[in-house]
A = this chain, B = another copy of it.
């Protein structure tokens, strides 16, 4: 087939995720995020649509920049309450066979020794379908939950992250040799201690002197995801990430980022084409263009503009409550001395965006494009976007849970399949293998994890 288009579903253990206010829509299920059925139904839908993975975002704090407190976030359920994303995974794994799970964990608040065990356990239980989205945290409110005044400075967080990665690579890759486990019932030998090694590491931030507590899992190192867009973040992603999420409103913006990530990966000695890059989008398919447009218009009626401003304030650090809805964003940016709203305004650079328009625009699917139309129109758009940007596929947000994803599975996926741009069936093997990685399921030779193998 022509170059395959890959799909990830973008979700979070909370209400509305990227679509503030839409939990009020009668067809939305996201207010049931705290039930098991919400997650097992979602996983079933995604596997029906042969999605590569479910990507679970996370935060450990509240969006409290807007208005200087979390009141608006709580009133509108803007990513709060937010439950632990790791907990529903085994239930989802039990109702699927192929779907991957890319789960966000903030390394700043997870000791590496126990975190490595957690991931290995999930890799075992899912039979090699686990991924980890490496984040260092971006909300000061999360740091306060952990008893700190504020989060570690941005660049220091990435230094800490580098050391953290070395510790977990050593545990995952270097502690148990491939043939350490014998499971020999006759001789009564489970494992050969000579082939199991303590990780003795003493760094600036972390110390470990112990074996990894888990026997080797199918992938050992989980598939690594990253979404950093800063200079340090991109360098980190180029070194470690196997999947990268990018978001932005125009193909031009995305194309530049994709080129930069692939160039940095090549500089880091990795095959730039082996990195899977997914860009954020929201797809609203309908039988006819008119039906799809009507659907989107219906959804838009439920957007909470206050909720959208809460999100943008959290992402940018600018308290948008300090500005009138009709104020143009250019003023906001100037006054705040911050270019963070650029993402939005490049969607139509000629336009003089107001704060209110930014809110309305970003009220569905965050800062990615929202495409409504027939499956054919959407597939056209997807093919063009991939051509223009060089991404491997899409990280799809939902407008309505689970309606948006089931519409994609049932309408868009068949169209992409007909066009020869989508897998007829899942590839065998681990998530890493399904994503085009080695048949072994292990990180490829150019990846830094491989250096810690024995």
Binding site for B on A (CB under 8 A): 13, 15, 21, 23-24, 31, 34-36, 39-40, 60-62, 69-72, 74-77, 80-84, 86-91, 93-95, 109-111, 113-114, 117-118, 120-122, 124-127, 141-142, 144-148, 183, 185, 188-193, 196, 206-211, 213-215, 217, 304
User: How many monomers of this chain does the complex have?
Assistant: 2
Residue from the list B36, B61, B93, B147 in contact with A206, Cβ < 8 A: B147
Q: B87, A88: Cβ atoms under 8 Å? A: no
Q: B211, A125: Cβ atoms under 8 Å? A: no
Q: B125, A76: Cβ atoms under 8 Å? A: no
Known pairs A83-B121, A84-B117. 16 more at Cβ < 8 A? A13-B121, A23-B185, A34-B121, A35-B125, A36-B94, A36-B126, A39-B125, A60-B117, A74-B196, A76-B188, A87-B118, A87-B125, A109-B111, A109-B113, A147-B208, A188-B304
Q: A75, B145: Cβ atoms under 8 Å? A: no
Q: B113, A190: Cβ atoms under 8 Å? A: no
Q: B13, A94: Cβ atoms under 8 Å? A: no
CB distance from A62 to the nearest CB of B (A): 7
9 contacts between A and B (CB under 8 A): A23-B185, A35-B127, A60-B117, A62-B211, A75-B191, A82-B213, A83-B117, A87-B90, A87-B122
Q: B189, A83: Cβ atoms under 8 Å? A: no
Residues of chain B contacted by A111 (CB below 8 angstroms): 109, 146
Closest 4 CB pairs of A and B: A147-B207, A77-B190, A145-B210, A90-B91
Q: How far is the CA of A15 from the CA of B185 in the complex (A)?
A: 13
Residues of chain B contacted by A189 (CB below 8 angstroms): 75
Q: How far is the CA of A328 from the CA of B140 in the complex (A)?
A: 61
Q: How far is the CA of A82 from the CA of B210 in the complex (A)?
A: 13
CB distance from A284 to the nearest CB of B (A): 21
Residues of chain B contacted by A15 (CB below 8 angstroms): 190
Q: A125, B88: Cβ atoms under 8 Å? A: yes
Q: A76, B209: Cβ atoms under 8 Å? A: no
Q: A191, B89: Cβ atoms under 8 Å? A: no
CB distance from A148 to the nearest CB of B (A): 8
Q: How far is the CA of A60 from the CA of B214 in the complex (A)?
A: 11
Q: How far is the CA of A13 from the CA of B122 in the complex (A)?
A: 12
Residue from the list B88, B193, B210 in contact with A71, Cβ < 8 A: B193
Closest B residue to A88 using CB positions:
B90
CB distance from A194 to the nearest CB of B (A): 8
Q: A114, B77: Cβ atoms under 8 Å? A: no
Residues of chain B contacted by A81 (CB below 8 angstroms): 191, 213-215
Q: How far is the CA of A213 from the CA of B141 in the complex (A)?
A: 11
Q: How far is the CA of A186 from the CA of B114 in the complex (A)?
A: 44
Q: A24, B87: Cβ atoms under 8 Å? A: no
Q: How far is the CA of A87 from the CA of B123 in the complex (A)?
A: 10
Q: How far is the CA of A122 from the CA of B87 in the complex (A)?
A: 7
Closest B residue to A125 using CB positions:
B36
Q: A213, B80: Cβ atoms under 8 Å? A: yes
CB distance from A248 to the nearest CB of B (A): 28
Q: How far is the CA of A217 from the CA of B81 in the complex (A)?
A: 11
Q: A31, B183: Cβ atoms under 8 Å? A: yes
Residues of chain B contacted by A82 (CB below 8 angstroms): 117, 213-214
Q: How far is the CA of A342 from the CA of B145 in the complex (A)?
A: 45
Closest B residue to A184 using CB positions:
B24
Residues of chain B contacted by A21 (CB below 8 angstroms): 188
Given contacts A34-B125, A87-B118, A193-B71, contact A24 B215 (CB under 8 A): no
CB distance from A200 to the nearest CB of B (A): 9
CB distance from A189 to the nearest CB of B (A): 6
Q: How far is the CA of A122 from the CA of B120 in the complex (A)?
A: 20
CB distance from A359 to the nearest CB of B (A): 14
CB distance from A310 to the nearest CB of B (A): 12
CB distance from A206 to the nearest CB of B (A): 6
Residues of chain B contacted by A39 (CB below 8 angstroms): 90, 125
Q: How far is the CA of A76 from the CA of B40 in the complex (A)?
A: 37
CB distance from A32 to the nearest CB of B (A): 10
- With most chain B CB atoms within 10 A of its CB, the pick from A24, A70, A110 is A24
Closest B residue to A210 using CB positions:
B145
Residues of chain B contacted by A214 (CB below 8 angstroms): 81-83
Residues of chain B contacted by A34 (CB below 8 angstroms): 121, 124-125, 215, 217
Q: How far is the CA of A83 from the CA of B117 in the complex (A)?
A: 6
